[in-house]
Chain A
Amino acid sequence: MSTLRNFLIRKRGGSRIDITDALTYLYLAVGTLVMFGPVLWVVLSSFKTQAQLVEFPPRLLPYAQETIVVDGYDEPLPLYRVVVDGEERVLAQIRRVGIEAHMIDPENPPADPARPTDAERIRVNINDREPIERLSLALENYTEPLEKFRFATYLKNSVIVTTVATIITLVINSMAAFALSKYRFAGRDAVFVLIIATLMIPISVILVPVFLVITQLNMNNTLWGVIIPGAATPTGVFLLRQYMLTIPDELLESARIDGASEWRIYWQIVLPLARPALAVLAIFSVMWRWNDFLWPLIVLSRSELFTLQVGLNAFQGELQIQWHYVLAMTVLTLLPITAVFAFLQRFITTGIATTGLKG
């Protein structure tokens, strides 16, 4: 026990734990609870049945009442723990009349289920019985919306938008970055300044005219209308250009002497060498596109084209929110991003710390 304690409070300096350390760990513990708690709560809630979700105060874990199938009854009967004549027994409820519950012993079912005798039928006040419960995951919250609603379609649309947009972004941004970092041509600096200048101009400032442009190009209500406008990201060009500047020009020159064309230099020398920067941009693009909301909301008005975010919003905006479905779909939506986070966290954090990219 003391070695464990020593391990936990050991510091590099070898000094003992003091009040600032205690406060530090208190802050970190509270922080962890506040940051992860809400997400964890939604995940736990998403496995509860509709009936359990309206329970107040709510319970931490999802439970379901134990039932038993008894010969002669069509439906499985709910099980209760009841104290009868000072003895605790497990009984199945067959009917409830007002505040009185009619119970039978599942071990010893009535001979004629339709007409149980008074000895077989035990009358219990509903306040004297206690339901027998077990942990149970309401997986139907996940499967039903995929069948009944269009969540599978939304999921497909989100995957298409994210994949296609990321590929296009990587290709055209890396081509532009290649031109800006490895060639001298008239207007190069002007182009670069223009890109930097728009680095901070978000789409929310030019919503109306961009909508006009995509309508004119017949891209309104298509996934292309969602994909294309954000493909030429200034941040992407900037990130890749800065990285490509570190690739020595001599490498390209010697390839030219060997007779390689410019296109071949681009895809066989520069792209493989810029792989770390491409990876960072790819991760960012996936996050941007998967989480994108305002622009798809404006472009897509037909529900079969909705992305997950837009579909989820439309679904939660209904008068009677079906929380058991909404929560499950929320978990489904945050799952891919959480996976990205778990596996590529280091990439993302160093990417942000070094470039100051918007997350």
Chain B
Amino acid sequence: MSHTPRSAPIAKRAQLQPGDLGHLVKSVFLGAYNALMVGLELVINPLQRLVGARRMAYFFLLPNMIIFGVFVLFPMLLNFYYSGTTGTRLMPQDRTWAGLANYEHLFRCGNFSQPNTCVEDMFWRAAHNTVVFVMFQVGGMVLLALVTAVILNREIVARGFFRSVYFYPVLLSPVVVGLIWKWILQRFGLLNAVLTGLGGEPIQFLLDRDWATFWVILVSIWAQMGFYTLILLAGLQSIPAVLYEAGEIDGANVWQRFRFITLPLLMPTLFVVLVLALIRAVQVFDQVFVLTGGGPGTATKYMVQYIYETGFANQIPRRGLASAASVLLGMVLLVFTLAQLWLGRKSEAA
């Protein structure tokens, strides 16, 4: 790290340079790390003598498996049991077994396309909203990501810069994304200023059901598009350039080259992107929660927010019902995941 050349006079080297400080910190950390690891050896090596080298695999696996088992696997199983209980108590042993009552409650409906006719109308409103959101967000985003990826794959100036431009919002936290757009969309915000500047009337974007839905979808596309663009770009780059040259020689124009070379060869990547986007969109929650709070009314309330409110935020939490809803959500995700695994296997075999 030190920038001092080797031939520098001794006297100068004795002084503490900024680079030396970095060096010092690094060696202190490294020393502490090594000391810790050697110290652990004193405990772990006797264990190895006891169980033998080969069974040490279980030891290495253990910490991860404990946390995985306690906080992922066990809760997954518990969720099924929990969804069959009612009551206001938290601990499973204090709750009454109710069989499929929670599911029946969720599905007691006059007409599934009309949330008003359902006993648990909020669940169905959330379900409806989620379906609309998923269709438009995933559809719009995959299309835009594809266009962007194709454009970024061209011979352009400052390629690296433009690639990172589209990726930047992906890194922002959902809360920050929500706040940024809340600031822009508010009554006296930038967008309304532009609108009035062009001679229009200001619009209360987040207080109108349709506008709120529109912006929630658009903001989600803005925040996540770069991620899918990147995957599609990697897919595009794996298409051999020879194919395009051959197409050009055969007289195919730009559109034909895209339609008959790019699109078929990009299909596997496109499917992966589609499924990943679906899985993500079904779980939409945080940036919407910050941006609209689910409002106006219930216009932008989605499934995860329903689960969060039913199970935690409401005055009287109905955790059994929340569990039942999350089991249903899990089923939907499982279908998507299996579809992805199946597609992955298929493209690997191809």
Contact = CB atoms under 8 A, between A and B. Distances in A.
A232 B70 CA distance: 10
Interface of B: 37, 40-41, 44-45, 48, 53-58, 60-61, 63-65, 67-68, 70-76, 78-79, 82, 90-92, 147-148, 151, 154-157, 162-176, 179-184, 188-190, 192-193, 196-197, 222, 226-227, 230-231, 233-234, 254, 272, 276, 279-280, 283, 285-286, 289-290, 293, 304, 307-308, 311-312, 319, 322-323, 326-327, 329-330, 333, 336-337, 340
A334 interface: yes
Given A201-B333, A232-B72, A263-B37, 20 more contacts: A39-B172, A41-B180, A42-B179, A175-B61, A183-B56, A183-B60, A200-B337, A204-B285, A207-B312, A207-B326, A209-B79, A210-B75, A213-B74, A229-B72, A291-B172, A298-B312, A313-B290, A316-B290, A337-B172, A353-B233
A356 B193 contact: no
Among A13, A38, A202, A230, the one with the most B-chain Cβ atoms within 10 Å of its Cβ is A38
27 contacts: A24-B151, A25-B156, A54-B188, A57-B196, A176-B61, A176-B63, A176-B64, A183-B54, A195-B68, A198-B73, A204-B283, A205-B326, A206-B72, A206-B76, A213-B71, A231-B67, A261-B45, A262-B60, A291-B176, A293-B173, A294-B285, A294-B286, A312-B176, A312-B179, A316-B290, A338-B168, A358-B280
A25 B167 CA distance: 17
A337 B169 CA distance: 10
Among B147, B183, B336, the one with the most A-chain Cβ atoms within 10 Å of its Cβ is B183
Contacts of B164: 341, 345, 349
A210 B272 CA distance: 29
A78 B152 CA distance: 52
B65 A200 contact: no
A209 B78 contact: yes
B156 A213 contact: no
Contacts of A56: 188, 192-193
Contacts of B57: 179, 183, 185, 188
B174 A38 contact: no
A179 B61 contact: yes
Nearest to B80: A209
A280 interface: no
B154 A24 contact: yes
A298 B307 CA distance: 12
Interface in A192-241: 194-195, 198-202, 204-216, 228-232, 234, 237
Nearest to B279: A200
Interface residues of A, number: 103
B268 to A, nearest CB: 12
B162 A28 contact: yes
A266 B322 CA distance: 43
Contacts of A341: 164, 167-168, 171
Given A202-B333, A209-B79, A352 B231 contact: yes
A208 B311 contact: yes
Nearest to B195: A57
B303 to A, nearest CB: 9
Nearest to A267: B37
Among A185, A206, A327, the one with the most B-chain Cβ atoms within 10 Å of its Cβ is A206
A309 interface: yes
A291 B53 CA distance: 40
B48 A262 contact: yes
**What are the 6 closest A-B residue pairs judged by CB atoms, nearest first?**
A291-B173, A209-B75, A183-B57, A176-B64, A179-B60, A57-B193
Contacts of A210: 71, 75
A224 B156 CA distance: 48
Contact of A31 (B70, B92, B165): B165
Given A209-B82, A263-B45, A359-B170, A191 B65 contact: yes
B91 to A, nearest CB: 7
B244 to A, nearest CB: 12
A159 to B, nearest CB: 14
Contacts of A313: 175, 289-290
A345 B170 CA distance: 12
A275 interface: no
A200 B190 contact: no
B183 A42 contact: yes
B307 A207 contact: yes
Contacts of A141: none
B337 to A, nearest CB: 4
Nearest to A220: B90
A213 B75 contact: yes
A149 B12 CA distance: 47
Contact of A39 (B180, B226, B290, B323): B180
Contact of B60 (A198, A266, A337): A266
B91 A330 contact: no
Contacts of A356: 231, 272, 276
A209 B323 contact: yes
A309 B176 CA distance: 8
B64 A237 contact: yes
A218 B76 CA distance: 20
Contacts of A348: 167, 171
A31 B166 CA distance: 7
